[in-house]
Chains A and B, each alone.
Chain A
Amino acid sequence: MPKLIKNQDIIDDNYQLLETAPAADQPLPEGNLLVPLTDWLENQQRYVNHQGSVGVWLDSHEEPELLAAQIQSLPVIAVNFPQFTDGRGYSIGRLLRERFGFLGELRAIGDVLRDQLFYMARCGFNAFAIRADRCIDDALNGLKDFSETYQAAVDQPQPLFRRRQMQAE
């Protein structure tokens, strides 16, 4: 079974990612599924009776706002990084956490490499599907690049200047 970094640990990934939705007359695969955003929005009925859990994945150009209404019903939201240089997913992560209050697993998928993990974690991602050709144990180190940060973000909602201030008081 493929591996996943989740909450700083390496675990088995027990979700199957469906790149495209199965045709309407086809049965759904068994087990936990990650289905495309548009499909989930259009065909929710289809997933209501599914045996496994159903999460949603969205691409970097898609609007996380579309999930806002039902966000708490989702166990997993995955955001695709089509190329590691495509930084839209970082904004999407923060919006899902900070604006829409998503509490479940937020997973980075696609071109996910060690040197992005620190930033992704700051933007609210707690799960990382490392690109298959890379060593996941090595990638885990990427979460520890810095012990201190300046800005407010999901992992540290108080910017350094406020924490400095509290220290000084």
Chain B
Amino acid sequence: MYIYDQYDQTIVDERVTQFREQTQRYLAGELADAEFLPLRLQNGLYIQRFAPMLRVAIPYGMVSSKQLRKLAEIARKYDKGYVHFSTRQNVQYNWPQLEQVPDILAELATVQMHAIQTSGNCIRNTTTDQFAGVAADEIVDPRPYCEIIRQWSTFHPEFAFLPRKFKIAVNAAKQDRAATLVHDIGLYLVKNEAGEIGFKVIVGGGLGRTPLIGTVIREFLPEQHLLSYLDAVLRVYNRYGRRDNKYKARIKILVKALGTELFTQKVEAEWEHIKDGATTLTQQEINRVTSHFSVPTYETLPATSQQLAQQLADDPNFNHWYQQNVNAHKVPGYSIVTFSLKPTGVAPGDVTDKQLEAAADLTDQYSFGEARVSHQQNLVLADVKQDDLYPLWQAAIQHGFATPNIGLLTDIICCPGGDFCALANAKSIPIAEAIQSRFDDLDYLHDIGELDLNISGCMNACGHHHVGHIGILGVDKKGEEFYQVQVGGNAGSDASLGKILGPSFAKEAVPGVIAKLLAVYVNQRTPEERFIDTYRRIGIKPFKEQVYAKAH
């Protein structure tokens, strides 16, 4: 994991002082609400439905056990004893006091954490694959590049007041686990024919009111040019992005308005001027940052553990969990474990202080003291010995982390919705719960297989409903909460946006609608097909007919 040196620490500490001072000026009436707003947002501080909300960055999802304990302590001391893991590899506190936020930031800084640029119209926390560095299908570890981007984007003086928020995601594996194509900039790490590392640059993806899949503007950008190229893209966006209408201020609208070709020309022309300047990365710097993500001291182990094979044969529940929540590791004898934060009855992504501490202990005991947060709002222990899986599973059960539903229907991505969010049209957490309760039969869930179900409480699409195989969107009809259902979205490297099925449904009807969609799938699928594959083959019509069929 990246460890701060005195420079990094100084910058984060000075930020705490700066924000403490800004908060004091605000409380003293020297800063108007409108002036404080962008300052607090760039520190992740919202004013929400019931209280302020503080969003803390977990840069590219990496978190140490020490940091998990600090998050737990803060939850206890300053909040109601829990935190919320979001789809942006951030955590959110829903109940802090404005006056105490500077103290929270000071505590975070002691464990090399911060809330810098977790909100506001600036470059946000960069995200990546939660399996980065351990995935077998990876070209190169993306985390050093994410850290390089983190440093470059932190208080970037030119891009602190962009037309709109700006999100960058990096993916380096064959399978895209970072929803890269729906970010303002998506970067795919690639190797060219000469074996050199570089980036495929994708621009203009995004969700929200105008969902779009990004377009490739450069097939191969040599790695040393990463930052100057980002500077060029951001400069074009900063200068020419719309500022008259916040819904049209995203870079995706600029790319669309200019056309990919003209937009690319502008970026390349800008880059020509700056490409070989001091911002050009040095091999030394890439090596320095990479050395922080060096391989932990793995033991030399056989590729498969005999003991594990026996345990899997003996205990069907363990086997279930193993099939669903454990992934292959690139090092023989190790596995990647995902802790589900989606048991039925808990808001997806909510974790208590006690649970966080338990997770920290397990991380120390079984996974080199590090964990990761996934954009699906789960927690990953990436370096677990196969021989340790059984005891880890037993401990995970005790702490509520062992629901064997990763990648299944009940592993729902869900925004806070009307329960917390001031912008919501409808609640989303109770919908997630209703679906989880209705489909609690594990055999059935396994039979249905891989299925992304995503729920957002409004058009802003925090719950990624556009890229769910099934997406649910809360809508407001004459003051009443209704839910629009979409099918066919996908967030991977073959990303697609869902299509609206038809008229929206009342809350009580939603689980039934899901059941009908699943019935169509079960009837029509070929043995190998996932829900999304069947949908892509047969189209929306059979689903629509089934759901809206008149009762006879």
Interface residues of A (CB under 8 A from B): 84-88, 90-92, 94, 99, 113, 115-116, 118-120, 122-123, 145-153, 157-162, 164-165
Whether A148 touches B157, Cβ cut-off 8 Å, given contacts A162-B278, A165-B284, A165-B285, is: no
Whether A158 touches B278, Cβ cut-off 8 Å, given contacts A85-B121, A90-B157, A150-B151, is: yes
> Across the interface, do B152 and A151 meet the contact criterion of CB distance under 8 Å?
yes
Which residues of A sit under 8 angstroms from B288, Cβ to Cβ?
161, 164
What's the nearest-Cβ distance from chain A to residue B64, in Å? 22
What's the nearest-Cβ distance from chain A to residue B480, in Å? 35
Cα distance A37–B60 in the bound complex, in angstroms: 44
Closest to A150 in B: B151
Closest to B236 in A: A91
B residues 8-60 near A (Cβ < 8 Å) are 10-11, 14-15, 18, 22, 35, 38-39
Closest to B285 in A: A161
Q: Of A88, A119, A157, which one neighbours B157 at CB under 8 angstroms?
A: A119
Which of A85, A86, A164 gathers most chain B CB within 10 Å?
A: A85
> Across the interface, do B14 and A148 meet the contact criterion of CB distance under 8 Å?
yes
> Across the interface, do A151 and B157 meet the contact criterion of CB distance under 8 Å?
yes
Q: Is B292 an interface residue (CB 8 A)?
A: no
> Across the interface, do A146 and B14 meet the contact criterion of CB distance under 8 Å?
yes
Q: A87-B158, A164-B288 are in contact. List 7 more A-B contacts (CB 8 A).
A: A90-B157, A91-B158, A91-B239, A146-B18, A151-B155, A157-B278, A165-B284
What's the nearest-Cβ distance from chain A to residue B522, in Å? 52
What's the nearest-Cβ distance from chain A to residue B463, in Å? 27
Q: Is B536 an interface residue (CB 8 A)?
A: no
> Across the interface, do A94 and B7 meet the contact criterion of CB distance under 8 Å?
no
Contact sample, A vs B, 8 pairs, CB 8 Å cutoff: A87-B163, A90-B159, A122-B158, A153-B158, A159-B152, A161-B148, A162-B278, A165-B285
Lowest 9 A-B CB distances belong to which pairs? A87-B161, A122-B157, A119-B157, A161-B285, A90-B158, A150-B151, A152-B278, A145-B18, A148-B10
> Across the interface, do B10 and A159 meet the contact criterion of CB distance under 8 Å?
no
Cα distance A149–B277 in the bound complex, in angstroms: 17
B residues 158-203 near A (Cβ < 8 Å) are 158-163
Which residues of B sit under 8 angstroms from A99, Cβ to Cβ?
273
What's the nearest-Cβ distance from chain B to residue A144, in Å? 10
Which residues of B sit under 8 angstroms from A159, Cβ to Cβ?
152, 227, 278-279
Which residues of B sit under 8 angstroms from A120, Cβ to Cβ?
157
Q: Is B544 an interface residue (CB 8 A)?
A: no
> Across the interface, do B238 and A151 meet the contact criterion of CB distance under 8 Å?
no
Cα distance A123–B284 in the bound complex, in angstroms: 27
> Across the interface, do A88 and B155 meet the contact criterion of CB distance under 8 Å?
no
Closest to B35 in A: A113
What's the nearest-Cβ distance from chain A to residue B180, in Å? 24
Q: Is B484 an interface residue (CB 8 A)?
A: no
Closest to B281 in A: A161
Which residues of A sit under 8 angstroms from B306, Cβ to Cβ?
none
Cα distance A86–B5 in the bound complex, in angstroms: 33
Which residues of A sit under 8 angstroms from B152, Cβ to Cβ?
150-151, 159
What's the nearest-Cβ distance from chain B to residue A29, in Å? 32
B residues 392-407 near A (Cβ < 8 Å) are none
- Interface bin, chain B: 35 or more
> Across the interface, do B7 and A160 meet the contact criterion of CB distance under 8 Å?
yes
Q: Is B266 an interface residue (CB 8 A)?
A: no
Whether A90 touches B14, Cβ cut-off 8 Å, given contacts A152-B278, A159-B279, is: no
Which of A86, A152, A157 gathers most chain B CB within 10 Å?
A: A152
Which residues of A sit under 8 angstroms from B284, Cβ to Cβ?
165
> Across the interface, do A149 and B155 meet the contact criterion of CB distance under 8 Å?
yes
Which residues of A sit under 8 angstroms from B18, Cβ to Cβ?
145-146
Whether A86 touches B243, Cβ cut-off 8 Å, given contacts A115-B22, A151-B157, is: yes
> Across the interface, do A160 and B151 meet the contact criterion of CB distance under 8 Å?
yes
> Across the interface, do B157 and A145 meet the contact criterion of CB distance under 8 Å?
no
Cα distance A161–B280 in the bound complex, in angstroms: 10
Which residues of B sit under 8 angstroms from A164, Cβ to Cβ?
5, 7, 285, 288
Q: Is B323 an interface residue (CB 8 A)?
A: no
What's the nearest-Cβ distance from chain A to residue B229, in Å? 14
> Across the interface, do B279 and A152 meet the contact criterion of CB distance under 8 Å?
yes
Which residues of A sit under 8 angstroms from B15, Cβ to Cβ?
146
Which residues of A sit under 8 angstroms from B39, Cβ to Cβ?
115
> Across the interface, do A90 and B35 meet the contact criterion of CB distance under 8 Å?
no
Which residues of A sit under 8 angstroms from B148, Cβ to Cβ?
161
Closest to A158 in B: B278
Which residues of A sit under 8 angstroms from B273, Cβ to Cβ?
99
Which residues of B sit under 8 angstroms from A87, Cβ to Cβ?
121, 158-163, 238
> Across the interface, do A151 and B38 meet the contact criterion of CB distance under 8 Å?
no
> Across the interface, do B279 and A90 meet the contact criterion of CB distance under 8 Å?
no
Cα distance A146–B148 in the bound complex, in angstroms: 20
What's the nearest-Cβ distance from chain A to residue B274, in Å? 8
Cα distance A137–B282 in the bound complex, in angstroms: 41
Q: Mark B250-283, 1 if CB is under 8 A from A, else 0.
A: 0000000000000000000000010001110110
What's the nearest-Cβ distance from chain B to residue A141, in Å? 9
Closest to B150 in A: A150
Cα distance A85–B152 in the bound complex, in angstroms: 21
> Across the interface, do A150 and B278 meet the contact criterion of CB distance under 8 Å?
no
Cα distance A143–B345 in the bound complex, in angstroms: 50
Which residues of A sit under 8 angstroms from B38, Cβ to Cβ?
84-85
> Across the interface, do B238 and A90 meet the contact criterion of CB distance under 8 Å?
yes
Which residues of B sit under 8 angstroms from A147, Cβ to Cβ?
10, 14
Closest to A87 in B: B161
Cα distance A158–B22 in the bound complex, in angstroms: 29
Which residues of A sit under 8 angstroms from B151, Cβ to Cβ?
150, 160-161
Whether A151 touches B121, Cβ cut-off 8 Å, given contacts A84-B161, A91-B239, A160-B7, is: no
Closest to A169 in B: B284
> Across the interface, do A149 and B158 meet the contact criterion of CB distance under 8 Å?
no
B residues 459-485 near A (Cβ < 8 Å) are none
> Across the interface, do A88 and B281 meet the contact criterion of CB distance under 8 Å?
no
Q: Is B218 an interface residue (CB 8 A)?
A: no
Q: Of B154, B158, B281, B282, which one neighbours A150 at CB under 8 angstroms?
A: B154
> Across the interface, do B159 and A161 meet the contact criterion of CB distance under 8 Å?
no
Q: Is B156 an interface residue (CB 8 A)?
A: yes
Q: Is B248 an interface residue (CB 8 A)?
A: no
